[in-house]
Amino acid sequence: MGHEIFTALSASSLEPEGFETVLRALDPQLKREHLLRIRQLDLELARLEWESRESESRRNHVFRMGGLIAGVAISMGALASGVIVAPDQPWLAASLCGPSLIALVKIFVLRHSTSSDMRAVARTTTTTTGAAAQPPMLP
């Protein structure tokens, strides 16, 4: 492209007819270079969009895997704790292994929770704490 501009600049000392001839000769080359540059920019934009989508996909995968791992760890811990305390404190085992466990797993793994989940947790908590408050039956 530099050579064409030099030719056009040196032609500025020409008569107007010579200058028009140089511009007509230069015009198709400039159009081709412009179209080439537009195509290069379109390819660069497409590459950047693809990289952005790929990066977002990777972050989303890591986020979801983290939630899955946290959900599994919490549910396994709650189940193990519930089994361990079940002989001595059945009300605590019911709280650990009941609807609250399901609600926690839904929150961490599915990233979703409904009001019915929370009502079930509250109902279980109320029931188990009421049972725990009663004195044990003596034989």
* pLDDT 10s digits, 21-31: 766 777 888 88
Q: Give the Cα separation of 96 and 28 in Å (integer).
A: 77
pLDDT tens column, 46-92 = 999 999 999 999 999 999 999 899 889 988 998 999 999 988 888 78
**Domain spans, the chain:** 1-47, 54-132
Nearest by Cα to 84 from 16, 1, 76: 76
* Contact in structure between 14 and 22 (CB atoms under 8 Å): yes
* Contact in structure between 3 and 30 (CB atoms under 8 Å): no
* Contact in structure between 129 and 91 (CB atoms under 8 Å): yes
Res 107 pLDDT > 70: yes
Q: Provide the whole-model pTM.
A: 0.55
Q: Give the Cα separation of 71 and 117 in Å (integer).
A: 16
